[in-house]
Chain A
Amino acid sequence: MPNREVELLLVEDNPNDAELTLRALRKNNLANTVVHVKDGAEALDLFFGDSAADGEITPKAILLDLKLPKVGGIEVLERLKSDERTKTIPVIVLTSSREDTDLQRCYELGVNSYIVKPVEFENFIKAVTELGFYWLLLNETKS
C-alpha cells in the first residue's frame, strides 16, 4: 500500500473553527489534501492505531488544537514527539490558550510552533494563511 500523501493534518474539535481554517487554506491553495480529525484519540489512532496498519500517513505539518475531547492535545503532542516514526513531523499548536503552563509544556515536548488563535475573524484568517504559507510552502521537510 502506498503512503497516503497527506499534506496537512488538522486536529480540531470546534467545527466552526475547522471550517474557517480549511476555507482559509483552500482559498489560498495551500493544502490539497487535508485530513481533519475531531479528537485526540482519532489523531493517535491515525498514527499508531489499527488504521495506521493500512499505511502510514506522513503529513507535511500537523495543526494541533490543545482543547480536545477524549485525548488532549498535550498528550497527542507527547506521543507524536516521542515516537521515532512521528517525531520529525512539524507540529504547530493552534489554540485559544495563552497559559504559561501550556506554552512551557509544549515547548518542552518539542513543539515546532505555538500560535494563539486570534479572536477576530479577519486576523484569524490572516494567521492561518500565513501559517499555511510558511509551513506548507516555505518550510522544508524531510522527504
Chain B
Amino acid sequence: MNSSPGYRNWTPLKRYGLCAVVFLVLLGLSFGLSYLHYKQDLSIPLLIGTILVAWFAGRGPGLALIVLILIAAIMRAEPRPGTPVSTIVFGYITAVVILGLLVVLVSGRRNASVTNRRLRRQNELLLNSVGEGIIGIDREGKCTFINPAAAALIGWATDELIGKPLHPLLHHSRPDGSPYPPAECPIGATLRNAAERHVSDEVFFKKSGDRFFVEYTSTPIYEDEEVTGAVVVFRDITEEKNARDALYQKGLLIEQSHEAIMVWDFEHGILDWNSGSERLYGYSRANALGKVTYKLLHTIFPVPVDEFLMGLQRTGFWAGDVVHLTRDGREVYSSTRYQIVDLNGRRTVLQTNRDITDRKRAENELRGLNDTLEKRVAERTQSLEEANKELEAFSYSVSHDLRAPLRAVDGFSRIVIEDYGDKLDAEGKRLLNVIRDNAQNMGRLIDDLLQFSRLSRKTLETSPLDIRNLAQDVCLELQSAEDATPAEFKIGELPESYGDRSLMRQVFVNLFSNAIKYSRKKEKIEVEVGGFAHNGENIYFVRDHGIGFDMKYADKLFGVFQRLHDAEQFEGTGVGLAIVHRVVSRHGGRVWAEAELNKGATFYFSLPRERTHEERPDAE
C-alpha cells in the first residue's frame, strides 16, 4: 500500500515549520506584489497555502496560519477611505471563518483518509501476521478477503479465490466423505441467521483435494444491523487431532489394561484410578479419589514405609513386590512401580501394579515342593543306605545261620568216623564222606554267594590303576599260598586304567585261579596275561592252556552257578566268573572268552580308558 507520510509522522517542529514557511511565502508574495505595484489579491494563494498547511500539517498549524495571516493582514492593511470599519471587520471575520472552516474540513478529511489508510494497513498487517487462516465472505458465500495464512493452509493463491463461492471449493464434504449441503453448513447459518458458530470436527479441502481437520469460528459482519457477510477464522488441527486421538487411544488402553494403574500426588492423594484398579482392588474410582494409596490398600512394603517414601521422593522412582489388601479383605501380591513426573509444576506419582499373587503362590509352592523333594531325596538316600546296611547285616547273619547246621552236619559226620570208624566198612566211610563233602560244598557256596552279593553292592571307589602291578600282586599272593599249585605266569605290558582296586583284584584272583584250576591236568601250567589299547578302551586277557571249553556253551559261562565242567573233575561253585562279569560290568566294561577244548581258554575283559564312566546301576 502506498505510504505517503501523514502529518502524524511529522514532529510539531516540522508541522509548525511548514506553517511558518507558507506564511513567509505568502508574506513575501504580498510584499512582492505591492513592490511591483500589482493588485494585492492574495485570495488564491491564501487558499492554496491554507489548504496546503491544513492537509500536510494538520489543524493546529492551519489555524495558526490563519491567525498569522490575520495579524499580517491587519498590520499591512492600508486604510481605505470610505469603507466603514464594520465592513472591514466583517470582511476579516468572514475570511477567518471561511479559512477556519477550510482548515477544519481539510485537516478532517486528511485525518480520515490517513486514519483509513492506517487502519487498512493495520488490518493488512494483522491479517498477514496472524497464523490462523482468516477468510471473509459476502452474503452469497463468495470470498471477499483471505489472509496469507489461509491461502497457505488451503493451497490456493489469494487472488485465485477472491469473488469465488467458497463452500463448494473448501467445505463440500463431511469428514466421513458424505456431501455437505450448504444448507447444513454452520457458516451458512452465520450468513443467514447472524449466528456465531464454533466448530472443531469438520474438514476443509485443499486445492490439491487433500483434506484436513479444522477448528473454525464463523462470525457475522454487520452493516447497519444487517448481515453483509461473515468472517471465518480457522486453523489446521490435524496434528492436534492426531495427538488427541492418540491420547484418547492411550487413555482407552490404560482403562483396558489388566494392570492397576493409578495417579496420585502427595497433597491431593489419588487423582486417577483406572478400571484395572477397580477390578483388582474392589474400590470404585469415586471411592478411591482423594485417598492415599498405601493407606487405602494397607500396603506391606519389603522395607519400612518411611524408607519407601524417602527413597521415592529422593530418586523419583521405586519398584518392588508388595502386598495389598483388597476391599473384601483378600491379600494380593503386586509387582509395583512408582514414577514421579512433573505435571503442571506438581510432582505427580504414576503407579502401576501387576497382580503376581498367582506367581508368588506358584513360587511358594515350588519352593515348598523343592524343599519337600529335597527332604524326600534325603530320606530316600538315607533309607537306601539303611537298606543296604540291613542287607549287609542280613546276608551276614543269614550266612552264619545257614552255616551253623552245616557245621553240625560236617562235625557229627566226622565224629561218627572218629568214634565208630572201626565199625564201619569202606562203603560206610565213603557214604559219610559224601555227607561231609556236601556240607563243605554248601559252605563254600554260601561264602561265594555272600561275596558275590557284597561285590555287587559295594560302592565303586575308582582311582587310577596300575593294572600290571595289580596282576603281579595277585599272582604273588596266589603262588605264595601254602597249597598253591605251581604255575608259570607271563605278565606282559598292561595299560593303566581306572577302577576300584579291591574289586579288580578279585577279578584277577578269580581269573588266575580258574586258569590254574583248569590247567591242573597238564604237566606244566602256563598262564599268560596281557593287554592292549583298542578303540578308546583297554582290553586285557588271561590265557591258559588247560582243558578249555566248548564254544557252543560260551554264553553260559558267566551265569551264576553255571558250570561247564562237572564237579568231579573240577570243583567250584560257578560263581567265580559271575563275579568277574559283575565287577567288570560295573566298571563299564565287557567280558568274553574264546576257547578250544583241550587247547586252552582265553578270557578277555575291557575297561574304559577315561574316568568318564558313570557307574551303570544294573549292568548284567
Residue A5 CB within 8 A of the other chain = no
- Give the nearest-CB partner of B399 in chain A: A119
Are B407 and A17 within 8 A (Cβ)?
Answer: yes
Contacts of B415 in A (CB 8 A): 23
Q: Which residue of A lies closest to B411 (CB)?
A: A121
Smallest CB separation, B339 vs chain A (Å): 70
Starting from the known contacts A20-B407, A119-B400, 17 additional A-B residue pairs (CB-CB under 8 Å) come to: A16-B404, A16-B405, A16-B408, A17-B404, A17-B408, A23-B415, A96-B404, A98-B396, A99-B393, A119-B403, A119-B404, A119-B406, A119-B443, A120-B410, A121-B407, A124-B407, A125-B411
> How far is A16 from B406 in the complex, measured between Cα atoms in Å?
11
Per-residue contact bits, chain A 22-38, to B (CB 8 Å; 1 contact, 0 not): 01000000000000000
Residue A14, interface by CB 8 Å: yes
Q: B593 to chain A: closest CB distance in Å?
A: 32
Which are the 6 A-B pairs with shortest beta-carbon distances?
A16-B408, A121-B411, A119-B403, A121-B410, A96-B400, A20-B411
Name which of A16, A117, A124 has the most chain B CB atoms within 10 A of its CB: A16
Residue numbers in A under 8 Å from B403 (CB-CB): 119
**B contact residues around A120 at 8 Å (CB):** 407, 410, 440, 443
Name which of A14, A20, A117 has the most chain B CB atoms within 10 A of its CB: A20
Q: How far is the CA of A23 from the CA of B415 in the complex (A)?
A: 9
CA–CA, A121 to B407, complex, Å?
Answer: 5
Residues of A within 8 Å of B440, CB to CB, are 120
- Give Cα A96 to B408, complex, Å: 14
Cα A119 to Cα B407 in complex, Å, equals 6
Centre residue among B397, B407, B408, B440 by max chain A CB count within 10 A: B407
Whether the Cβ atoms of B396 and A16 lie closer than 8 Å is no
> How many positions in chain A have a CB within 8 Å of any CB in the partner chain?
15
From known contacts A16-B407, A20-B407, A20-B408, infer whether A121 and B400 are also in contact, taking CB-CB under 8 Å: no
A-B contact pairs, 18 of them (CB 8 A): A14-B404, A17-B407, A20-B407, A20-B411, A96-B401, A96-B404, A97-B397, A97-B400, A98-B396, A119-B399, A119-B400, A119-B403, A120-B407, A120-B410, A121-B407, A121-B410, A121-B411, A125-B411
Q: How far is the CA of A7 from the CA of B410 in the complex (A)?
A: 28
Q: Which residues of A contact B396 (CB under 8 A)?
A: 98
The contact of B411 among A97, A98, A99, A124, by CB within 8 Å, is: A124
Within 8 A of B (CB), among A1-25: 14, 16-17, 20, 23
Does B412 lie at the interface of the complex (its beta carbon under 8 Å from any beta carbon of A)? yes
Which has the most chain B C-beta neighbours within 10 Å: A14, A117, A119? Answer: A119
Interface: B414 (CB within 8 A):
yes
Residues of A within 8 A of B443 (CB): 119-120
CB distance from A123 to the nearest CB of B (A): 9
Most buried by A among B400, B414, B415: B400
Near B by CB (< 8 A), chain A positions 80-120 give 96-99, 117, 119-120
Contact with A along B395-431 (1 / 0, CB 8 A): 0110111011111101110110000000000000000
> Which residues in A have some Cβ–Cβ distance to B below 8 Å?
14, 16-17, 20, 23, 96-99, 117, 119-121, 124-125
Complex formed: what's the CA distance from A17 to B409 in Å? 11
Inter-chain CA distance A124–B397, complex, in Å, is: 18
Select the residue from A23, A119, A120, A121 with max chain B CB neighbours within 10 A: A121
Q: B399 contacts which chain A residues (CB < 8 A)?
A: 119
Roughly how many angstroms separate A98 CA and B396 CA in the complex, as a whole number?
Answer: 9
Contacts of B401 in A (CB 8 A): 96
The docked-state distance in angstroms from the alpha carbon of A2 to that of B415 is 37
Query: CB-nearest residue of chain A relative to B402?
Result: A119
Neighbouring A residues of B411 by C-beta, 8 Å? 16, 20, 121, 124-125
Q: In residues 363-396 of chain B, which contact A (Cβ within 8 Å)?
A: 393, 396
Q: Which B residues are CB-close (under 8 A) to A96? A: 400-401, 404
Q: Select from chain B the residue with minimum beta-carbon distance to A16.
A: B408
Chain B neighbourhood of A17, CB < 8 A: 404, 407-408
Q: Please, which residue of chain A has its CB at the minimum distance from the CB of B413?
A: A121
Q: How far is the CA of A23 from the CA of B408 in the complex (A)?
A: 13
CA distance A16 to B613 in the complex (A): 51
CB pair A16–B400 under 8 Å, yes or no, is no
B432 to chain A, nearest CB (A): 13
Q: Which partner residue on chain A sits nearest B407 by CB separation? A: A121
| Residues of B contacting A20 in the complex (Cβ-Cβ under 8 angstroms) | 407-408, 411
Docked complex Cα distance between A20 and B404 (Å): 12
Complex contacts, A97 vs chain B, CB 8 Å: 397, 400
Interface string of B468-508 (1 = CB under 8 A from A): 00000000000000000000000000000000000000000
Smallest Cβ distance from B417 to chain A, in angstroms? 12
Q: Closest Cβ of chain A: how far from B411's Cβ, in Å?
A: 4
| Interchain nearest-CB distance for A115 vs B (Å) | 14
For B404, the chain A residues whose CB sits under 8 A away are: 14, 16-17, 96, 119
Cβ contact within 8 Å between B412 and A16: yes
When C-beta atoms are compared, the residue in chain B nearest to A14 turns out to be B404
Minimal Cβ-Cβ distance residue in B for A95:
B400
Please, which residue of chain B has its CB at the minimum distance from the CB of A23?
B415
Using an 8 Å CB-CB cutoff, how does the interface string of B236-273 with A read, 1 for contact, 0 for none? 00000000000000000000000000000000000000
How many angstroms from the CA of A117 to the CA of B401 in the assembled complex? 12
Q: Chain A residues near B410: list those with CB within 8 A.
A: 120-121
CB neighbours (8 Å) of A99 from chain B are 393
In Å, the complex CA distance between A125 and B415 comes to 11
A97 CA to B406 CA, complexed, in Å: 17
Closest to A99 in B: B393
CB distance from B205 to the nearest CB of A (A): 106
- Per-residue CB proximity of B193-218 to A under 8 Å, as 1/0? 00000000000000000000000000
Report B224 CB to chain A, min CB distance, Å: 130
Would you give the shortest CB distance from B508 to chain A, in whole angstroms? 26
Chain A residues in 8 Å Cβ range of B405: 16
Chain A residues lying within 8 Å of B397, measured Cβ to Cβ, are 97
* Bound CA span A16–B439, Å: 15
Docked CA distance A125–B410 (Å) = 12
CB distance from A128 to the nearest CB of B (A): 11
Chain B neighbourhood of A98, CB < 8 A: 396
Expressed in whole angstroms, the Cα–Cα distance for A17 and B281 within the complex equals 85
CA distance A14 to B404 in the complex (A): 9
Closest to B440 in A: A120
Bound together, the chains give a CA A20 to CA B407 distance in angstroms of 9
Q: How far is the CA of A34 from the CA of B393 in the complex (A)?
A: 34
| B406: chain A residues within 8 A (beta carbon) | 119
Chain A nearest Cβ from B395, distance in angstroms:
12
Tell me the bound Cα distance from A23 to B407 in angstroms. 14
Q: Which residues of B contact A124 (CB under 8 A)?
A: 407, 411
Distance in angstroms between the alpha carbons of A97 and B405 in the assembled complex: 15
The answer for the CA separation of A96 and B440 in the assembled complex, in Å, is 18
How near does chain A come to B386, taking the closest CB pair, in angstroms? 15
* CB-CB nearest in chain A for B408: A16
